[in-house]
C-alpha cells in the first residue's frame, strides 16, 4: 500500500489533498507529495522491499499510487555495474554505473511516467499527454498503450522523423506545433488547464517527479544497503537530481541505510547550463537560457527545479559541472569502449562532467561514486556518427582478409 498522505507546497508549506494540481493556490510554488514516514517505520524494511517485484513497484509504500491502478511495464531495478575499467582510466578507486538505458523505452523517463500514468488512472483520467522531443514522449505513448489510455503528444514542428518514430509506434495522437519551444511550453500549460487530460509534467507533475526517487532507492539497495559517497547526475529541469538525493535521504530516515553523507554533483552541457551557471556565480537565481547543445534530452532553458537543485548542492557539499559538446561525444565513446554501455548524449554529459570534475580536483577519486546513465545511445546516434570506427572493406577471400586485417593493425 501507498503511504502518501497529501500534497505540500515546497515554498510556503501549505498542504492540500492528493489532487491533480502542480502549484500551490496561495504562493504558486510547486507542490510535492508528502508521506506518513512514522507509519512506515518498522513496516517498510529491507526484507519487505527485497520480497517485492524486480521493478520500481518494490518501493510501492514510498510511491503515491494504490496497487490496483498500476500501469506496469516492469520499469526499473536496472543494473548497477561496477565500472573497474572506467575507474582505472579515470584514476578512481570505486566507480559504479547506474544503467537506466535498460528500461522498457530505454530511458529513466519510464520511472516518472510509470508513476504519473498510474496516478492519472487512479484519478480517473483517460488521456495522458506531454510535450517532448524524445524520451518522455516515447514513455508516455508506451504507458498509455499498456494502460489502455489515450495518448496525446505535442512536439516542435521541426523534430526529426527518427525521433517521432519512437513514439509513433505506440499509436498516440501526435501534434506538431508550429513556433518556438516557448510557444509549445505556453500552449501545453494552457491546455493543462483547459482539458481534462493528465499532462504528466504539468498537472500531475508532483506524482511524476516522485518516480525519480526510485533511482536513489535502487542504488542504495544494490550497493548492499549503503549510500555512495558521491553521485554524478545529469540535470535538465533539475528534478531528477533533487529526487535521487531525496530518495537516499528517505532511506536513511527510515533506518534502511546509515545516514552517511552523499555529495551530489549535477552535470549539464555548456550549451544549456542555467543551473551550473548559477552555481558558479554563487546565486540561487536561475537565468533562463536558449539551449544550444547536442544533448537535446537535457535542453531545458528554464528549469522548474533549478533552485531546488542548487539547494541540494549546498546541503550535500557537491556542485555542478558544465561540459562542451566535443567532450560529451568523447565521453559517450569512452563509456562504450570501457564498459560496453552505449549511452545517449545525456550519458556523455554525465561522464564528461565526472572527468572534468576529477581533473579540476572538485570530485574525489578515492570516494565511492555512482554516475547515472539515463538513456540509451540508439536514440542519439547522430551525435557520434562521424566519430566511430568504420568497417574494413575486403574481398571474399582469406588473402584479402589477412592483408586488410594486418594493414588495420590487427
Partner 1 sequence: MASKRVRFTFEGERVGQPLIYRLGHEFALVTNIRMADVEAGFGWVVLEVEGEADEIERGIAWMEAQGVRVDPVGGDVVEG
Using CB under 8 A, list all residues that contact partner 1: 11, 22-23, 26-30, 109, 130-136, 154, 156, 181-182, 184-186, 188-189, 199, 201-202, 205, 236-237, 283-285, 287-288, 296-306, 346
Cell numbers for 371, please give them. 554516475
Minimum CB distance to partner 1 smaller for 85 or for 302: 302
Inter-residue contact 97 to 80 (CB < 8 Å): yes
What is the smallest separation between the CB atom of 68 and partner 1, expressed in angstroms? 28
Other beta carbons within 10 angstroms of residue 76's beta carbon come to 25
What is the smallest separation between the CB atom of 291 and partner 1, expressed in angstroms? 9
What is the smallest separation between the CB atom of 390 and partner 1, expressed in angstroms? 29
Other beta carbons within 10 angstroms of residue 164's beta carbon come to 18
Minimum CB distance to partner 1 smaller for 31 or for 83: 31
What is the smallest separation between the CB atom of 100 and partner 1, expressed in angstroms? 14
CB-side exposure of 26: number of CA atoms within 13 Å?
A: 10
Q: Which of 107, 101, 110 is nearest to 74 (CA)?
A: 110
Q: CA dist 356 to 69, 242, 268, 336, 349, Å?
A: 44, 22, 12, 18, 10
Inter-residue contact 347 to 98 (CB < 8 Å): no
What is the smallest separation between the CB atom of 29 and partner 1, expressed in angstroms? 7
Q: Which residues contact 128 (CB under 8 A, 6 or more apart)?
A: 116, 117, 120, 140, 143, 144, 147, 149, 150, 151, 152, 197, 198, 200
What is the smallest separation between the CB atom of 104 and partner 1, expressed in angstroms? 17
Minimum CB distance to partner 1 smaller for 228 or for 348: 348
What is the rounded distance in angstroms from the CA atom of residue 258 to the CA atom of residue 96? 19
Minimum CB distance to partner 1 smaller for 301 or for 318: 301
Minimum CB distance to partner 1 smaller for 294 or for 338: 294
Inter-residue contact 293 to 272 (CB < 8 Å): yes
Minimum CB distance to partner 1 smaller for 237 or for 350: 237
What is the rounded distance in angstroms from the CA atom of residue 93 to the CA atom of residue 106? 29
Minimum CB distance to partner 1 smaller for 78 or for 133: 133
What is the smallest separation between the CB atom of 213 and partner 1, expressed in angstroms? 18
What is the side-by-side strand order in the sheet with 319-323? Answer: 80-82, 95-99, 369-373, 230-234, 263-269, 319-323
Q: Quick one: residue 179, left, alpha or beta (phi over 0 = left, psi -120 to 50 = alpha)? A: left
Minimum CB distance to partner 1 smaller for 99 or for 133: 133
What is the smallest separation between the CB atom of 391 and partner 1, expressed in angstroms? 31
Cell numbers for 316, please give them. 550535500
Minimum CB distance to partner 1 smaller for 95 or for 130: 130
Minimum CB distance to partner 1 smaller for 132 or for 316: 132
What is the rounded distance in angstroms from the CA atom of residue 330 to the CA atom of residue 204? 37
396 exposure class (CB count in 10 Å sphere: 0-12, 13-18, 19+): exposed
3 state DSSP class of 200 = coil
What is the smallest separation between the CB atom of 182 and partner 1, expressed in angstroms? 8
Q: What is the largest CA-CA distance in the chain?
A: 79
What is the smallest separation between the CB atom of 208 and partner 1, expressed in angstroms? 10
Amino acid at each position: 500500500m501507498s503511504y502518501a498522505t497529501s500534497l505540500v507546497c515546497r515554498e510556503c508549506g501549505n498542504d492540500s489533498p492528493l489532487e491533480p494540481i502542480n502549484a500551490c493556490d496561495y504562493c504558486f510554488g510547486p507542490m510535492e507529495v508528502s508521506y506518513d514516514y512514522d507509519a512506515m517505520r518498522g513496516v517498510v524494511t529491507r526484507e519487505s522491499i527485497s520480497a517485492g517485484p524486480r521493478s520500481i513497484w518494490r518501493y510501492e509504500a514510498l510511491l503515491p499510487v494504490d496497487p490496483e491502478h498500476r500501469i506496469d511495464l516492469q520499469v526499473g531495478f536496472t543494473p548497477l555495474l561496477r565500472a573497474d575499467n572506467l575507474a582505472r582510466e579515470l584514476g578512481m578507486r570505486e566507480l559504479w554505473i547506474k544503467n537506466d538505458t535498460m528500461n522498457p523505452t530505454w530511458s529513466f523517463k519510464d520511472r516518472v511516467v510509470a508513476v504519473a500514468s498510474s496516478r492519472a488512472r487512479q484519478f480517473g483520467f483517460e488521456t495522458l499527454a506531454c510535450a517532448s522531443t524524445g524520451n518522455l514522449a516515447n514513455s508516455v505513448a508506451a504507458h498509455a498503450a499498456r494502460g489502455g489510455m489515450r495518448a496525446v503528444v505535442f512536439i516542435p514542428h521541426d523534430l526529426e522523423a527518427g525521433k517521432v518514430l519512437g513514439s509513433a509506434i505506440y499509436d498516440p495522437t501526435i501534434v506538431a506545433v508550429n513556433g518556438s519551444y516557448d510557444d509549445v511550453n505556453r500552449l501545453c500549460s494552457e491546455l493543462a488547464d483547459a482539458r481534462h487530460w493528465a499532462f504528466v509534467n504539468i498537472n500531475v507533475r508532483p506524482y511524476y517527479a516522485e518516480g525519480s526517487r526510485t533511482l536513489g532507492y535502487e542504488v542504495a539497495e544494490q550497493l548492499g544497503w549503503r549510500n555512495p559517497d558521491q553521485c554524478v547526475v545529469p540535470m535538465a529541469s533539475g528534478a531528477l537530481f533533487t529526487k535521487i538525493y531525496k530518495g537516499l535521504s528517505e532511506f536513511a530516515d527510515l533506518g534502511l541505510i546509515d545516514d552517511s553523507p552523499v555529495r551530489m554533483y549535477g552535470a549539464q552541457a555548456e550549451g544549456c547550463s542555467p543551473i551550473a551557471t548559477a552555481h558558479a556565480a554563487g546565486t540561487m537565481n536561475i537565468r533562463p537560457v536558449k539551449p544550444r547543445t547536442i544533448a537535446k534530452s537535457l535542453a531545458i532553458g528554464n528549469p522548474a527545479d533549478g533552485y531546488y537543485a542548487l539547494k541540494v548542492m549546498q546541503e550535500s557539499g557537491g556542485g555542478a559541472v558544465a561540459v562542451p559538446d566535443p567532450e560529451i561525444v568523447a565521453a559517450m565513446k569512452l563509456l562504450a569502449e570501457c564498459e560496453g554501455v552505449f549511452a545517449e548524449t545525456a550519458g556523455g554529459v554525465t561522464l564528461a562532467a565526472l572527468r572534468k570534475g576529477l581533473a579540476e580536483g572538485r570530485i574525489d577519486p578515492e570516494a565511492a561514486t555512482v554516475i547515472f546513465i539515463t538513456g540509451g545511445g540508439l536514440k542519439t546516434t547522430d551525435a557520434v556518427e562521424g566519430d566511430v570506427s568504420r568497417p574494413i572493406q575486403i574481398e571474399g577471400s582469406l588473402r584479402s582478409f589477412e592483408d586488410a586485417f594486418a594493414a588495420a593493425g590487427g
